[in-house]
Structure 1
Amino acid sequence: MLLLVLTTLMWSGNAVASKLAVGHVSPMVIVFLRWMIVAGLMSLIAWRELVASWDAIRPHLVSIALMAAFGFSGFNGLFYLAAHNTTAVNIGILQGSIPMIVVVGAYFLFGVRVTLVQFLGILLTLLGVFLVASQGSWQVLLNLQINPGDALMLVAALFYAGYTLALRNRPKVPALAFFAVMAFVAALVSLPMLAVEYSQETLVWPTVQGWLVIFYIALCPSFLAQIFFMRGVEMIGPNRAGVFVNLVPVFSAAMAIILLGEEFALYHGAALALVLGGIWIAEKFAWEKRLKKVEA
């Protein structure tokens, strides 16, 4: 449990880091350097597993590349771009919608049945997302005046949900070897994104603060959190471990207020309650259903 709480704290810190990076390093530079550092670290600790599993990995390189492009490079790029136009509080809450997007995607892609209670949870979560995107004003939604940063974060959430769904059919290789390949591919995929940023003359090489942010992002949310999460899942199981992910929007909002001094409006509280309430309803029902099957 301690490992999983630390994992969600590090993931939540990514939202704060994205705001601290603004003006000190550009988004695509963060993405490129982040995954280069992680790839270097993974080459040190997972090279034996990578060499041993290469024959099993090689036939799946295209699918792995797509997963890395959308789930790592694409998600991260939009995540850091969003920080230029929205708050860390908003980023954290909108990131909390990912579990429900995964439920919807599993229904359409794999035919995983959605119960009435889960559907209610999805509706509550979506209502929370709309509340954040509209800044608590229905007039904003009616006039289609959604903050560009919030819109980018929603697209990023869709990317990561797609990556999560793709994990269902990932190659049956050791987790560290798989993550190492993903990190290498993510670094390569970020090169064209870096080139676009350079061509648009928006590339900003890191200042001292920028480097500190990059090292935090590379070492904590990208490297340690992934290893902690994998170990936590091994120790208590995926079902119990998955519930801890719901702490991310809570920690993100708290850290943004404490560390960045961001305002926490009434609509943020309502949205947070809706997002977490929707996830709780869906998770609680699914957990009770699993327990009944075990008892039977």
Structure 2
Amino acid sequence: MQHQLKAYISMALAMAIVGSSVVVGKLMVEMIPVFLSSGIRFLIAAAVLIVLLIVFEKGFPELTKKDVFVLVMQSFTGVFLFSVCMLYGVKLTTGMESGMITSTTPMAVGILAFFLLKERIEKRMLIGIVLAVMGVMTINLFGADGGGSPHALIGNLLIAAAVVGEAMFTLLAKLLSPHISALAIATFVSLFGFLFFLPFAVFEALSFNFAAPGLLDWSYVLYYALIVTVLAFYLWYSGVSKVSAGISGIFTSVLPVSAVVLSGIVLKEQFTMIHLIGITLVIAGIFVTVVVKKDSQNLAS
């Protein structure tokens, strides 16, 4: 029971950190350009993860050509495209709405698996997708910042594109060799992510005044690198390895709650009835998707 409690706390903290990344990202790109901040972030994260991989797993695992290709594609979709769309998106929309849309990733995985892998969508998944889409449409049509301004809508669409990138990252993981650990995957995608960002980061760095951002601004980059990319990863996988998939899925609902609460506290964004309806529908979609599956498995056993 104590081990399970620790696992629950670890997963809740991991998702709370992921939710906070929306808020921190919005603050970070106010002073530091998207590509430059992301390049620095993944350079730091990759360096730390390489050290951890050497310490805990005694070096890099052997990779086939297929593994390298899949890891590169994971990095392109789930790191490069995700980060670009997410960070440009949060510049145009609110942290609350960004967090709510980001939390629909499990449903996006189900939709892409249906179209790309021809996997069947179960009734529970279909209901979850409908609820999540209703939640996202509610905040887009009625709750967009600035009374439904086109900039907020574009921002929300960019966040949705980031979700598609993250969903592709998840699906591509199924193609990797089973001996490659989660830590190794995180290390490789962070390293490849840095390489993707490098030329764009250098271009932005040439005309960027590094003295302009204050210490607090640079701390956002460090937070993104060490807390979001490294610590959240460690907390999530240390917890998810000790519980069932159904239980771990429930904790993804912490993400939008964290994003909404922190957006209100840190960014001073107003939480409206539309946001309440939207987040309720999204969380209901998450619970239907993961909890009903768990219950049906228990009945079957």
Whether TM-score is above 0.5 comes out as yes
Partner residue in 2 for 1:37:
44
What residue in structure 2 maps to residue 239 of structure 1?
A: 246
Shift of 1:157: 0.8
Partners of 2:70 and 2:173 within 8 A in 1: no
- 1:170 maps to what in 2? 176
For 2:4, the equivalent position in structure 1 comes to: none
For residues 244-278 of structure 1, the C-alpha deviation after alignment (integer angstroms, 9 at most, x for no partner) is 11210011101111122111121111110111112
Residue of 15, 23, 47 corresponding to 2:22: 15
Distance 1:204 1:147, change over 3 A: farther
Q: CA deviation at 1:108?
A: 2.0
Q: Secondary structure at the match of 1:190?
A: helix
Choose the corresponding residue for 1:279, options 238, 261, 286. 286
Give 5+ residue unaligned stretches, structure 1: none
Contact 2:139 2:274 in 1 (8 A): yes
Q: Encode CA deviations 1:19-62: one digit per residue, 9 max, x unaligned.
A: 22243211112211111001110121112637451x33554212
Q: What is residue 154 of structure 2 aligned with on the other side?
A: 148
Q: In the alignment, is the contact (CA less than 8 A) between 1:24 and 1:209 conserved in 2?
A: no
Is the alpha carbon distance of 1:40 and 1:117 closer, same or farther for their aligned partners in structure 2, counting shifts above 3 Å? closer
Query: Quick one: structure 1 residues 178 and 23, their matched pair in 2 at CA, closer, same or farther if it must change by over 3 Å?
Result: closer
The structural deviation recorded for 1:117 is: 3.6
Shift, 1:174, TM fit: 2.2
Match for 1:101: what amino acid?
A: A
TM-score with structure 2 setting the length: 0.88
Determine the structure 2 residue equivalent to 1:217: 224
Please give the residue correspondences for 1:29-178 in structure 2 after superposition, counting only pairs within 5 Å: 29-47=36-54, 49=57, 51-53=59-61, 55-57=62-64, 59-136=66-143, 147-172=153-178, 173-178=180-185
Q: CA RMSD in A?
A: 2.3
TM score, norm. by length of structure 1: 0.89
Q: How far apart are the structure 2 equivalents of 1:164 and 1:51?
A: 24
Residue 178 of structure 1 and its aligned partner are, at CA, apart by 2.2
Contact 1:128–1:275 (CA under 8 A) maintained in structure 2: yes
Deviation at 1:198, TM superposition (A): 6.1
- State the alpha-carbon separation in 1 of the partners of residues 259 and 45 from structure 2: 23
Mean CA deviation greater in 112-121 or 21-30:
112-121
Residue 288 of structure 1 corresponds to which residue in structure 2? 295
- Give the aligned partner of residue 263 of structure 1: 270
Instruction: Kindly state the Cα deviation for residue 89 of structure 1 after the two structures are TM-superposed.
Output: 0.4
Q: Is the 8 A contact 2:124 2:293 kept in 1?
A: no
- Give the Å deviation of 1:222: 0.5
In the alignment, the residues of structure 1 paired with residue 60 and residue 221 of structure 2 have an alpha-carbon distance, to the nearest angstrom, of 31
Letter in 2 for 1:168: K
The answer to whether the 8 Å contact 1:25/1:204 transfers is: no
Residues 11, 225 of structure 1: 8 Å contact kept = yes
Query: C-alpha distance in 2, partners of 1:59/1:260?
Result: 43
C-alpha spacing 1:85/1:144, structure 2 compared with 1 (3 Å): closer
8 Å contact from structure 1 (residues 34, 217) kept in 2: yes
